[in-house]
Every structure is written in structure tokens, then in C-alpha cells.
Structure 1
């Protein structure tokens, strides 16, 4: 069944409905799904999953990869990171999500926004929103994680916000070494600079990554940028 708008826009519409009417996001998503001719959002999401790009992107990630996932606010980068996590867990891998931005409730709602009930991955998904999150903390937490585990860090520019934390480039370098040594895949959600102008180019690129502090972007092996439903994925090497 053809949707009236890209699924990205339907998710945004549901978020606005949730906020305006004060209802849970999953109920707003279900209401939007009914308008599209589905009985609920889970069914809509599952029918569209075959067309979703997360599976194709995940298939190109290999142990040791560091991927930068960048977009302006509201463009779906958190949902994309969760879709990648779901692809990993469906293949039997574990996922750890480290967030300096969201609560566990927020993440559970976003899982439901992509048509996934988190309980089905019980034991495969770990969420951590500690204020202590930084490279050494993540490395210690993943010390016993099996090869192929995917870790999502939300988000890159917050890792060194505390003065006592190491410089951002030092942290990313440490995580790169750890990922390569242990066969992990690490996805960094990233801000895009406000100077990015979608009227001049449809999707941001590596030149648009917001860098309040120095960072060698060649540390990343894969790049993915989103804007208004457009997705650009590439190997950085």
C-alpha cells in the first residue's frame, strides 16, 4: 500500500500530534497508521521495513567500523540508529545504546515508532544514560561484550562536554582502537552545523559536521547523512 508521504514525514506528523494532544507517541503513531489504511503503526512499519535502508546499511558494516550518523535535529538520526540496532539484533548480535540526550522511556517510545516491541529483544539490548558516559566508561562497559556487538553513542559532540573528560579526538581514537581490537561496530550520532543549507545541497556531508572541538574525521570508516528523507551512505576509506 502506497503511503501518502514518506514514512519519515509520517513519524514527524505523529510527534507533532503527540505533543499537541498530549498523548503517548505510540498512540499518535497508531492514529497516523489508521489514516494510512493500516490497523496500527506496527503493521505499517513492518510492511515498509523491506523498503527501509537500515538493512542495506547494516549489511555494509563490518567489525571494527566506526560510523558517523549525522543530521540536523528532527531528521530521523536516532530512529535510524535504532533501526540499525534492530537489524543487528535480528541477526543475533547484541546492541548497547549510550545516550547523554535521551531517557530510557524516550528510547522505548522510539523503538515503538519503528514498529518494534523492545521486549522481543530482551537480553540483547542495553541502554545507559549515565552522566559519566565517555570513551573509558564505554570501553569498560563493553569489556566482556561479544565480537560483533553494535554500540550507539548519542551523541558525538557531548562526549567531551565535561571539562574532566579527555579531548574528543582522544576519545574517538580510543574507541576506534577498541572497536578494531574487539571486533565491535560503533555508531556515533552527530550534530550538523547550523550553517548547512538544504536549499544549496539536498543532504549534508562531512564538511557540515559540527565540530566545537577539534576532531580528525578520518577516524570514521563509514559515513551516513540524512535530510528530509534523503539518505547518503558511503565508506570513508
Structure 2
């Protein structure tokens, strides 16, 4: 369905309405839903959830979120991250892909292959392939980006490969603080440990993230796990 604004902005509008009018949040959300032509917020949410998987996930991300997108090689985590950026561009948001895995030309080709009508969104996704990639570089690059802008980092573990950079845990903590302060949304494509056994569980979970060095995974507010064409989204704050 076509909304007057992205759902995260509608949620923010409801929170402001609730504070200004001393209303329960659920009542403010229902009022926003009625402005969009639906009787209740639950109906609006269900209509949005009926969209494409990337559109659905984007609608569930809020300003300041850190999203983990994890799967084994070949199970669609990078494609999903790129689709998420295309959806952000479709919604008029700034969309940035940081990668050391692909060249700019390779990334453009992947984005073009993933496009759905209307075409032309691939050109709106910024592609960054600097060897200086790290938390400090990412934060500098995104300086001035509007709240709700989306950046995807390909991939989490690559931030841990240069000894000249701070420890991965420090980088994620700094990026989380930056996202919370600025309202950016940061997505991290992540590897899954080889010990994951799909014969014992269909999808990986947070315990299967490959971590060469310790990281507080509680810093990630949302997570998406993919395997063999299936996906499970988790809001880790609830």
C-alpha cells in the first residue's frame, strides 16, 4: 500500500502526537492509521507486511537501529542487503553500500539485476569501496545524512581485518552510538559459523554468528537470518 510517509516517520509522528496530546501511544497510532485511510494501526501494519520481504523489513526499521543480516555463503544475505537499499532509494531515502567484497562495477551490476519497476533506482545507491573502510570512515562519510538514511556494510567481519583499526567491538559500539544520535539506520551483512548445521535447525540464529573476536551482539537491535530461501526477522529489543 502507498503511505503518505515511510512507516518509521508515521511512528515518530504518533509518538509526538501522544506526547503533545497526553494520549496513550496505541491511540495516537490508531489516529495516524485513520489519516492513512485505515481504521486501526494493526491493519496498517498488516498491509505493509504483505509487501516484498525487503519492503517489509524496511518498514520495521526505526531511526537508530543496527540490523544484522546473516547467512551462509550463497543464501542471499548480500542480495537482501542490496534489495533493502533499493527499497530505501524507492522511499526517497539516502542509501549507501560500503563494501570491500565487490568493485563498484560489480555492485552496480548486482543492483541493476535486482531492480524492479520503476527502474533507475540502482543509480541512486551510493557505492563506497575505500580500503580505509572502518567505523571512523563510515561515520565521516555519513556526516550530515538525514535521519532514516540507510547504510549497509558488507560485511561485519571485514571491519576486524586490519590491526591498525580499533577492535571490532569498539567499532560497533561507536557506530551504534552514532546511529542513535543521528537517526541513521545501519545494516551489517554477517557470516555464519561453519558449525551451523541445518539438519538440526532450519535457520541460523544469533549464536551462529562468526566472531573471530568478541563483540556484544546485544548492540544489534534487529536481526535477519537467511537459509535455503527462508528468512526470519527478529526485533531484539522486545
The two structures have a TM-score, normalised by structure 2, of 0.75
Aligned counterparts of 1:88 and 1:62: Cα–Cα separation in 2: 12
> Which residue of 2 is the match for residue 43 of structure 1?
none
Counterpart of 2:141 in structure 1 is 141
1:209 aligns with 2:177: no
Q: Which residue of 1 aligns with 2:127?
A: 127
State the partner residue of 1:102.
102
**Map of 1:89 onto structure 2:** 89
* Offset of residue 116 of structure 1: 4.7
Counterpart for residue 198 of structure 2: 198
Structure 1 residue ranges (4+ consecutive) displaced by more than 6 angstroms after TM superposition: none
Name the CA shift for 1:205/1:122 in 2 (closer, same or farther; >3 Å): closer
**CA distance 1:136–1:118, shift in 2 (3 Å):** farther
| Kept in 1: contact 2:160–2:167 (CA 8 A) | yes
Instruction: Give 1:111 deviation, angstroms.
Output: 1.2
> What are the Cα deviations for residues 126-169 of structure 1, in whole angstroms up to 9, with x where unaligned?
11111110000000000121111100000000102011000001
Q: Structure 1 residue 110: deviation in Å?
A: 1.2
Q: Show structure 1 runs of 5+ residues with no match.
A: 1-49
Q: Map 1:21-170; keep pairs closer than 5 Å.
A: 52-116=52-116, 120-121=120-121, 124-170=124-170
Count matched residues: 188
State the distance in 1 between where 2:146 and 2:123 align: 13
Q: Distance in 2 between matches of 1:117 and 1:159?
A: 34
Which consecutive unaligned segments of at least 5 residues does structure 2 have?
1-49
In the aligned structure 1, how far is the partner of 2:235 from the partner of 2:94?
Answer: 23
Structure-2 separation of matches of 1:118 and 1:155: 28
Kept in 1: contact 2:115–2:122 (CA 8 A): no
Higher mean alpha-carbon deviation, 116-125 vs 174-183, is at 116-125
- Equivalent residues of 2:154, 2:189 under 8 A apart: yes
CA RMSD of aligned residues (A): 1.7
